[in-house]
Each structure stands twice: as C-alpha cells, then as structure tokens.
Amino acid sequence: MQIALTFSGGGFRASAFALGTLSLLDRITFEDGTLLDQVSVLSTVSGGTITGARFALGKKRNEPFEKIFSSLYDFMSNSRLITEALEHLAKDDGWRNGRVRNLITSFSDIYDQELFKGAKFGELMQDNPDYGLKHISFNSTDFDNGLQFRFQWSEKILHPSEGEPERGIIGNMFLRVPFEVAKEIRLADIMAASSCFPGGFEPINFPNDFVFSDGQRLNFPDPEKYPVGLMDGGIVDNQGIEPVLLAENRMKKNRSISSSENVIDLIMVCEVASPYMDGFKASQQNKSGWWKKLTPKSTGIINIFLWLISLTGIVFGFLYDFKITLMVSTMIFTFNNFVWLIYWVIGKAMRGSGIPDEFLKPLGKLLRLKFFIYQNLLMNRFNSVLMLTMNVFLKHVRRLNYRALYNDKTWINRRIMSAIYELRSNEKTIESKVNKGMLPAELMPSGLIKQNSDLAASMGTTLWFTKEELERDKMLDVIISCGQYNACWNLLEYIHLLKRDNNNTNPTHNKLIACENQLMALWEKFQAEPQGMVLKKF
C-alpha cells in the first residue's frame, strides 16, 4: 500500500502530534509488518519537520521505531532549547566562515548536538531498495521569490522529460541546489530553515549560515542568486500538501498509468492548526490617566515652559553653587531636549518619506488630538496587521492548499485529515454525523478524550515545553496521545466510508478495511484511557 503522510507546522505541538500519529501506525499489523511500513511519501513543515526528519533518518538507518520514538520523546521532554541556544550564542566559537551569529543559527547547532548528531541530508539521498520512504520533502520558504523551498529526495524517474531533474528539484524553479551540495547539508540546518517562523526568528541564509565541512567547495549554477533568505515552510503551505501532489506525478511516470488514476492509495494530512479564528475586536478608547488627556501641542507648550524653568535653574544653581538645584535642572533640561529630538526626528522622517505635501499639511491638525485617541489608532492598526498576517493570510492559504486536494476527484476516497482539534468538547460535527446515521455511535469520543483534546489544542506554537507544561499538565503525553487516538478515529471513519462507497479504490484498500477490528479494539481502550498508549503498548 502507498501511504503519504504530511506533518503540519505548529512548533512542538506539531512535533508531538506527528509522533503520536507515527506510533499509532506502528501498532497496526498490516501484512508482514505494520501500517507504518506502508508509508512511502513524507512531506513536513516547521515543527512537523522535527519528527519527520528524525523518522526518515531512523528509517534509513534501519532503527526500530521504539528507538526513533525514544529519541524524539527525550529531545522534546529534556532539551532546554532557549537556554542552550542563548548560551551558545554568547560563545565566540562556532561562528567562522562568515556565518551570521543569530538565534536561528544557534538553534540549528543545538538541533545538531541533541537530535541529529551531525547527520547530513546525503544520508537520506542513498538509494536503498529496502528503504520504504521513496519521496521525502522538508519544506521552507524562499524569501527572494515567495515560493516553497524544498529539501527533497525522490525515487529516480526512469524517463524524465527534457530538462526535468530525475529526482525532483532541491530548492525550487528559480533556485536549484545541486545534489553534490545538498548531500553535505546538515539535517539540523534543514530543520532550522523549515521552522524559522517570522517574528520569533530572523531568516537563515542559504548557504552562508549553513555549516559545511571545512574546505568544502560549493558550486552553484547562477551563484549571483545566493545567499537567499529562508524561513518557515508554513508561510506558503503549512500542511505540506503540494510536495505530495508533485511526488504523485513523479510516481505516475514510473508506472505508466493514466492521468485519471493515482499511485498513492491514501494521503493522511496531520494538522495542528485550527480553521477557526476569533473575530477582530476593536480596542476601546480608554481615557483613564492624566497623560491621555494631553495633546502633542499641549505637551510642546509644557515642554517649552519646563525647558525655560530648567535652564533658569541651571544658571541659578551654577551661580550660587546649589548642587541639588543644578543636578535636577540639568536632568529636566536633558529630558526636554530629548523630547524635542523625538519631535524633530519624527518630522524629518515624515518629510523625507516621499509623502506628498498635500497629505502632510493637514497632518498638523493631528497635534490637537488627545493621546488616548492616538493609543486607540495605534492599537487598532497593530491588532489588525497582526490578525492579517497570523490569521487571515494563513487561513486563506490553508483553504487553497486543501482545495487542491479536496476539489480533485481523483483523490476521492484516498484522503484523510487528522486534526488536533477534531475531537474537542465543543466540536459538533461528529455528533451531527452520528445523529444522522453517517457514523456508528461507537465513534462518539468519550468525555476523557474530549478533555484531553481540549488541553492538547490549547498549547501555543513554541519550540519548547515549559516546566509547568511538562510536569503539571503532562503536555507532551497529552499531545502524543491526541495524535494517536485522532489517527485511530480517522482511520475508523475512513474505513466506515469505504465500506459504504468503494469508488476510486483498489484491492489494497480492502486490506486496510481488514484492520478495522484492530483499530476498534484500540479505540475502545483510548475511550477509557486516552494516554494509555504513549509509553507502552496495550
């Protein structure tokens, strides 16, 4: 069976949810192995790349899944990323060859020390007939062209078109990284590029900020295009769907099938972002505080008055040797001049900004507005821009990515979305489906699962767990278990739908349907003990 997995962005929340998904698939017996052995395509973004890259490396090294799981569990529960990254940033060593000394490059070094242990992308680029993953893509965003920048490797295309790379493009259509260079890239640097989210980090420059062996020659076509800034892959595709669709096209070429048929039997999108958003709430005018009732014009007048008094005090203190008067007056005088400097800088910036005079002249009337009005103007603009970038844009891109998958009829009965929010207590979709007879009552989640899902979905997008989250809330276990039972529930729902409608399926799907009893037995145990399978098998 050909299964494609995508792991969305979302910090450690995404990493833990993805780890839960993998561990559930590893527990489902399928033919001579497990359902996890059927995963042949992997696409990851941001926090999902932590789990995806370590899983791909472990698979290549033929490590048992228990070792991969332990490595990731220990990393997320024991690492002190912020502390260690800041300590490393303060050191003078490790920043040679023009490498920029900043937070994201420091994080990259910590990833390398604690998780990847010096492993390079080239280790994943070696052909191995026993290696189940035939197509992998760790995704970031190119800040020169606004496109996805993929660190990917695919099975060889037997008959590529003219000019088509036989393995898929590493980079994108504008920036193509030669295989000889790509194989020397640290997985830690790929991880950093994929999870370099705006606001929290600065861009990581490729190749300048990446660590290569001393004396390594980097030969690029069109070297004038580099360096290029890379940031979080979630900016353009937080679900990692597009690389799977591209892998599907490459797989078709090697199998000589029609364009209306698909090679991939099932795409499973693992998602920790929510489709919901809180509406914009305008800030209210708050007049409390004496300073809020002042205006720039009135503060200018007050400043002139204080400037004259302080200047008089300086002269008086100097002539009569009143040191306290001289000191206080000097401080006030300095502060007054600083205020005038701010006014001057703002005025000069506006005059030099290219704003037409017809617009600048009326701005003088703003000097009569009270400061509480300015506070309201600034807060509403700040909040709306923040909502635009962090919610509206990302939600719109999310819809477009899912549309490419769900509006394509060739993917009917071959797609699953497993989302962290699906089984929360306030979600009514499942209850509605059960009431309408679309799902069996056994798939209604228990109160314990709903409670666990509420807590899992509440975690913010960070690349760490706080001490309170780990010890008090057991957040790592909460989210891993959420990934497990969400994957179990979605597979059961999928099987239920396949039994009602087998359109666009093949005999392989019947083998998956045969897993229903295994999945149902696990689901019943999850219902009673949601976290029961995090560190052990039932």
What residues are annotated to the active site? 46, 232
Residue 90 CB: number of other CB atoms within 10 A?
A: 9
Asked whether the beta carbons of 404 and 242 are under 8 A apart, the reply is yes
Q: Is 239 exposed, middle or buried (0-12, 13-18, 19+ CB in 10 A)?
A: buried
Q: Residue 265: enclosing H or E segment and its boundaries?
A: none
The CA distance from 411 to 408, in Å, is 6
Yes or no: say if 520 and 442 are a contact pair by the CB < 8 Å rule. yes
**How many other CB atoms are found less than 10 A from the CB of residue 195?**
33
Alpha-carbon torsion 490, 492, 498, 504, what sign? positive
Q: 271 by DSSP, 3-state: which? A: strand
What does DSSP say about strands 266-271 and 415-419: parallel, antiparallel, or unpaired?
parallel
Q: Which amino acid is at 333?
A: F
Alpha carbon distance 371, 342 (integer Å):
16
Phi, psi angles (nearest 5°) of residue 391: -125, -60
Read off φ and ψ for residue 166, nearest 5 degrees: -75, -10
For 509-529, give the DSSP string: HHHHHTTHHHHHHHHHHHHH-
> Can you tell me whether residue 189 is helix, strand or coil?
helix
Q: Which long-range contacts (CB under 8 A, 24 or more apart) does 428-437 make?
A: none
Helix H or strand E encompassing 66? helix 65-78
